[in-house]
């Protein structure tokens, strides 16, 4: 499987969160910027098998 | 996966959670979701564009598979908890990470993986509580 091209440096504490807008497994769509009323844990899984 | 089923504690901490994956939904259902009814959004990133935008790279083979901590962790799962390691995903070198985004859109916590390690759930809950109060 091809790796994603040119990963950037991970954001540090105090940085603005990078964009996150993706489809959900349930068929919906999630945009992080629409969820500002509470802090959000964003967890990227290493592998999910 | 130790946090997918922690809805009550995450909500009690005043936060919410989303999980980003790149494996196919069917593989997920056979793997980490096989015994869980996910209560948080599971976001699909098959081309790993979001992984790249959040700076999450691929590890070397040595980082992941020659790390004694990985093998100790799997041994603990087998011996103490009676769990078999989940079926491997399609790219075992892709690294993940955990981030907490505050209500202003800024990072309150940033923990990209350097190998197959994750922070304790308690650490993440504490950050969520602090972020809620910030």
Q: Number of C-alpha atoms within 13 angstroms, CB side, residue B25?
A: 10
Check whether B33 has a pLDDT greater than 50: yes
What are the Cα distances from residue A7, in Å, to B21, B27, B48? 16, 25, 10
Judging contacts by C-beta atoms under 8 Å, the chain A residues touching residue B109 are 13
Q: Is B44 on the interface with A (CB under 8 A)?
A: yes
Residues A24, A29, A33, A35, CA torsion sign = negative
Average pLDDT, chain B: 80
Q: Calculate the dihedral angle through the C-alpha atoms of B125, B89, B111, B99, rounding to the nearest 10 degrees.
A: -60
- Tell me what pLDDT residue B36 has: 60
What average pLDDT does this structure show over B70-85?
64
Q: Is B95 on the interface with A (CB under 8 A)?
A: yes
Residues paired with A24 in a beta bridge = B43
Q: Number of C-alpha atoms within 13 angstroms, CB side, residue A42?
A: 33
- Tell me what pLDDT residue B1 has: 47
DSSP state of B41: -
What are the Cα distances from residue B32, in Å, to B28, B52, B75, B86, B116? 6, 23, 18, 7, 16
Judging contacts by C-beta atoms under 8 Å, the chain A residues touching residue B116 are 46
Check whether B110 has a pLDDT greater than 60: yes
Which tokens go with B69?
Answer: 């901590």
Check whether B100 has a pLDDT greater than 60: yes
Residue B134 to residue B117: CA distance in whole angstroms: 28
DSSP state of A27: S
Check whether B35 has a pLDDT greater than 70: no
Q: Within chain A, which residues score under 70 in pLDDT?
A: 1-7, 48-49
Cβ contact B89–A47 (<8 Å): yes
Check whether B48 has a pLDDT greater than 70: yes
Judging contacts by C-beta atoms under 8 Å, the chain B residues touching residue A42 are 17-18, 20, 54, 98-101
B99: phi then psi, degrees, rounded to nearest 5? -135, 145
């Amino acid at each position: 499987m091809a790796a994603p091209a040119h990963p950037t440096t991970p954001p540090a504490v105090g940085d603005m969160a990078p964009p996150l807008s993706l489809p959900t497994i349930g068929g919906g769509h999630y945009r992080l910027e629409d969820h500002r009323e509470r802090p959000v844990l964003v967890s990227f899984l290493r592998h999910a098998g | 996966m130790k946090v997918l089923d922690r809805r009550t504690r995450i909500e009690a901490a005043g936060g919410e959670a989303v999980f980003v994956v790149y494996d196919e939904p069917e593989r997920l259902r056979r793997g980490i979701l096989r015994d869980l009814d996910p209560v948080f959004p599971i976001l699909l990133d098959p081309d790993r564009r979001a992984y790249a935008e959040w700076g999450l790279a691929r590890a070397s083979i040595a980082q992941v598979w020659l790390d004694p901590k990985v093998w100790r962790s799997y041994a603990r799962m087998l011996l103490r908890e009676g769990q078999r390691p989940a079926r491997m995903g399609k790219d075992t070198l892709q690294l993940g990470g955990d981030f907490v985004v505050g209500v202003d859109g800024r990072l309150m916590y940033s923990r990209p993986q350097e190998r197959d390690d994750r922070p304790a759930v308690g650490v993440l809950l504490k950050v969520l509580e602090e972020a809620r109060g910030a």
